[in-house]
Amino acid sequence: MSLESIDRVAVLGAGNMGHGITEVTAMAGYDVTMRDIKDEFVEDGYESIKWSLEKLEEKEMIDESAEEVLSRIDTTTDLEEAVADADLVIEAAPEELDLKHEIFTDLEEYTSGDTLLATNTSSLPISDIAEAVDTPERVLGLHFFNPPVKMDLVEVIYGEDTSDEAAEAGYEWVESIGKTPIYVRKDVRGFVVNTIVGPFGGEPAFMVSNDEATIREADATMAHERGYPMGPFELGDLTGIDVGYHVRKEGDSPIPPITEEKVEAGDLGQKTGKGFYDYEDGDGADYEPEDAGDFDWLRVEARMINRAAFLVGEGVATPEEVDTGVQLGLGFPEGICRRGDKIGLETVLEKLETLYEETGADRFEPHPYLEELVEEGKTGEEAGAGFYDYGDDELGPYHDLNYELEDGVLQVELDRPSRMNALSEDLLSEIDDLFSSVDTDEVRVATIEGSGDRAFSAGADISGFADTAPTDMMDVTPGFETVNEFPRPVLAKIDGFCLGGGLELALACDLRIATERSSFGAPEIGLGLIPGGGGTQRLTRILGETRAKELVFRGNHIDADRAEDWGLINRSVEREDFDDTVGEFLDDLRSGPPIGLKVAKKVMNEGQDASLDAALVMESQGFGLLSSTDDVLEGTAAFAEDREPEFEGK
Ligand SMILES: C/C=C/C(=O)SCCNC(=O)CCNC(=O)[C@H](O)C(C)(C)COP(=O)(O)OP(=O)(O)OC[C@H]1O[C@@H](n2cnc3c(N)ncnc32)[C@H](O)[C@@H]1OP(=O)(O)O
């Protein structure tokens, strides 16, 4: 049982999750059979896949045609036929344990002992489902999020008997389809993501029930001040108030009175036209930033951080896994462990202790792991350690970016795919920190790219704006300047949206290569703003006033071909040629003379703002300085000997 042994996949269920999983599996190049119990279910699922693939093809988000992807999908209503040759089966049937038992009993009969058996359940224990088979070691959870085509995260869940071999094969398979897996090492209710999200909706509902807050206060604070993609009540209305209600009921968790009232009245949210907000006779979730008041957000976040302490302390997941889970699965602006470390775990613990003392409610009882961290003085970033270690003997830890330094190439990936790699305060300071602390002797060239398949970066993180002081908003530039002044060439690899602050970051790089589908713009004017990370100045210098003003004043996007035509980027290339073109640039830059490139960059950057006379002096000083380097001796010797030079940066 390994990734190499997985060629054919069967997905059982053609509903929202089933057909979505089928689609992403086929998109990754696997042959897949989608099975449901009735022809009409299978046909509906297939039509939805076809529609979605055609949209993706239209937007150039897939490298092949919709037809080619569809040619890898078979459909059937016959379970045995669907799974007979499958190496991996993913069950995505309704959430009824008896039904899943029936399916897994049949799977034991129809599949070979080597077939990996996965369930996409979001609420049933994997171990309970695995009871139906004699070989529970090959049963695991692969929990996709809705819709699978859009959502990057998959939880890979161990049941009590799941073997490491099976879990690893599942994990690697998830990576092979371009999704991000996280391990859930124990079969806990809610796995990782739903464990954390519980208090996000639940605690504000208790507070409103107790007249300690209003719905609008809670939503406005959490969305506009704490940066969550939407307020807890808006979220409840969107997912269905009854859904959260049933999860609590099944888990024997106390139910907030307001939730109970809504369910009893049949006001279940958007689907019934009314929930916490009125969508028929009212304006829906119409809260505004000024509704925030003094809502006690710490009470909500302290409970989520306590749940994170449970997950980490009990060995269910690492802080990195918890944080990846909430960012990709829930669109949280940053990881919840990271947030705890920033708030200070002693503050979190104190909040929980006070509430526990005042109310006696179990949900506030601090988890021993949280107490342990605080007792050991690991109270967060300021103390140098918390959930994470912030020791300063190495780079990072970085939460919003990834980097790799190999063979002289520093590859930096902006890692906030659920927010289109929008530049949060953290991400900006991590860029600043990395480019100012990395050992430049080890680096010959750096690249910056976005993670996910949609954007280089869609600009500064708008969700943080309402709560940001004007002085902090003006703090965008230092990170970009560090990149601009980095003594090695920096190349922006752009595939997708490159907007606002994202464009400004790309402009701070020396070279820009983009895929044809990419688009560029300075949309800040639409927000009542102007570019604040060097955009007004660098655009004018690079494009000239006419084109720069068009971009800044109109706020429109231009495509990559026009961007190349205007000189905004060096190359616009087809996606399939992207890596090769970048590779050709990198080969030249990596083998070029480090000091020569450094001086060229400095003189060209600084010369732009000097008079021509002064700039020419800078150039000749640089020229003179280089003439005494070993690299120049090597370059001229290599020329005379008709060989490639080997520059050492001396
Ligand atoms: C000094 C610098 C200042 C600035 O940079 S100001 C910001 C300038 N940038 C912008 O104004 C661009 C804002 N974004 C957009 O216009 C759109 O997005 C796109 C055109 C890039 C894509 O649109 P679509 O395909 O419909 O996707 P989606 O649902 O809007 O975005 C997917 C998720 O990404 C989040 N997101 C996108 N851009 C930002 C951003 N700049 N800050 C924070 N989040 C962003 C969204 O909210 C959403 O998230 P969810 O799925 O949770 O709803």
Asked if residue 118 lies in contact with residue 91, where contact means CB atoms within 8 angstroms, the answer is yes
Q: Which residues form the catalytic set? A: 504, 524
Task: Give distance in angstroms: CA of 223 to centre of ligand 1.
Answer: 15
Instruction: Find out whether the beta carbon of 459 lies less than 6 Å from any atom of ligand 1.
Output: yes
The atom number, within ligand 1, closest to the CA of 462 reads 42
- Neighbouring residues of 23: CB distance < 8 A, sequence distance ≥ 6: 49, 52, 53, 69, 148, 149
Task: Give distance in angstroms: CA of 421 to centre of ligand 1.
Answer: 9
Predicted confidence band at 469 (pLDDT cuts at 50, 70, 90)? low
**Ligand 1 atom 17, closest CA:** 458
Q: Work out the number of other CB atoms within 10 angstroms of the CB of residue 134.
A: 9
Instruction: Find out whether the beta carbon of 555 lies less than 6 Å from any atom of ligand 1.
Output: no
- ∠ Cα 524 230 62 (to 5°): 70
**Ligand 1 atom 18, closest CA:** 458
Predicted local distance difference test score (pLDDT) of residue 259: 96
Instruction: Please give the radius of gyration of the chain, using alpha carbons only, rounded to the nearest integer.
Output: 27
Task: Give distance in angstroms: CA of 461 to centre of ligand 1.
Answer: 8
Asked if residue 57 lies in contact with residue 35, where contact means CB atoms within 8 angstroms, the answer is no
β-pair partners for 558: 520
Mean pLDDT of 337-347: 97
Asked if residue 506 lies in contact with residue 512, where contact means CB atoms within 8 angstroms, the answer is yes
ipTM exceeding the 0.90 mark? yes
Domain ranges of the chain: 3-187, 194-392, 401-584, 593-641
pLDDT above 60 for 219: yes
DSSP state of 176: H
What's the CA gap between 243 and 271, in Å, rounded?
12
The fold of 194-392 is N-(1-d-carboxylethyl)-l-norvaline Dehydrogenase; domain 2 (1.10.1040)
Instruction: Find out whether the beta carbon of 235 lies less than 6 Å from any atom of ligand 1.
Output: no
**Ligand 1 atom 48, closest CA:** 419
Q: Is the dihedral of CA 609, 610, 611, 616 positive or negative?
A: negative
Q: Most distant CA pair in the chain: distance in Å? A: 88
pLDDT above 90 for 186: yes
Task: Give distance in angstroms: CA of 451 to centre of ligand 1.
Answer: 15
pLDDT tens profile 388-417:
998 766 788 888 999 999 999 999 999 998
Predicted local distance difference test score (pLDDT) of residue 434: 95
Instruction: Find out whether the beta carbon of 420 lies less than 6 Å from any atom of ligand 1.
Output: yes
Instruction: Find out whether the beta carbon of 461 lies less than 6 Å from any atom of ligand 1.
Output: yes
Instruction: Find out whether the beta carbon of 121 lies less than 6 Å from any atom of ligand 1.
Output: no
What's the CA gap between 206 and 210, in Å, rounded?
6
Predicted local distance difference test score (pLDDT) of residue 276: 97
Mean pLDDT of 627-639: 89
Predicted confidence band at 467 (pLDDT cuts at 50, 70, 90)? low
pLDDT tens profile 551-563:
999 999 999 999 9
Which tokens in the block code for residue 145?
A: 């999020």
Q: Is the dihedral of CA 467, 471, 475, 476 positive or negative?
A: positive
Instruction: Find out whether the beta carbon of 533 lies less than 6 Å from any atom of ligand 1.
Output: yes
pLDDT tens profile 94-119:
989 999 999 999 999 999 889 999 99
CATH architecture assigned to 593-641 = Orthogonal Bundle (1.10)
pLDDT tens profile 440-455:
999 999 999 999 889 9
3-187 and 194-392 share one fold: no
Task: Give distance in angstroms: CA of 324 to centre of ligand 1.
Answer: 19
Task: Give distance in angstroms: CA of 151 to centre of ligand 1.
Answer: 16
pLDDT tens profile 156-174:
999 999 999 999 999 999 9
Instruction: Find out whether the beta carbon of 462 lies less than 6 Å from any atom of ligand 1.
Output: yes
Predicted local distance difference test score (pLDDT) of residue 246: 87
pLDDT above 70 for 312: yes
Instruction: Find out whether the beta carbon of 463 lies less than 6 Å from any atom of ligand 1.
Output: yes
Mutate to test the pocket of ligand 1, among 462, 477, 497, 525 (most ligand atoms within 8 A of CB): 462
Instruction: Find out whether the beta carbon of 464 lies less than 6 Å from any atom of ligand 1.
Output: no
**Ligand 1 atom 44, closest CA:** 419
Predicted local distance difference test score (pLDDT) of residue 521: 97
Task: Give distance in angstroms: CA of 238 to centre of ligand 1.
Answer: 20
What's the CA gap between 577 and 359, in Å, rounded?
62
CATH architecture assigned to 3-187 = 3-Layer(aba) Sandwich (3.40)
Predicted local distance difference test score (pLDDT) of residue 307: 98
Predicted local distance difference test score (pLDDT) of residue 459: 95
Query: Checking DSSP bridges between strand 139-144 and strand 153-158, what pairing results, if any?
Result: antiparallel
Question: What DSSP line would sit under 275-317, residue for residue?
Answer: SSSBSSSS-SS---GGG-TT--HHHHHHHHHHHHHHHHHTTS-
Task: Give distance in angstroms: CA of 455 to centre of ligand 1.
Answer: 10
pLDDT tens profile 7-63:
999 999 999 999 999 999 999 999 999 999 999 999 999 999 999 999 999 887 888
Predicted confidence band at 566 (pLDDT cuts at 50, 70, 90)? very high
What's the CA gap between 218 and 224, in Å, rounded?
10
pLDDT tens profile 349-393:
999 999 999 999 999 999 999 999 999 999 999 999 999 998 766
Predicted local distance difference test score (pLDDT) of residue 248: 87
Mutate to test the pocket of ligand 1, among 419, 504, 518 (most ligand atoms within 8 A of CB): 419
The atom number, within ligand 1, closest to the CA of 501 reads 5
CATH number corresponding to 401-584: 3.90.226.10
Closest CA to 428 of 491, 501, 529: 501
pTM value is: 0.80
pLDDT above 60 for 470: no
Predicted confidence band at 646 (pLDDT cuts at 50, 70, 90)? very high
The atom number, within ligand 1, closest to the CA of 463 reads 43
What's the CA gap between 460 and 465, in Å, rounded?
9
Instruction: Find out whether the beta carbon of 227 lies less than 6 Å from any atom of ligand 1.
Output: no
The atom number, within ligand 1, closest to the CA of 533 reads 1
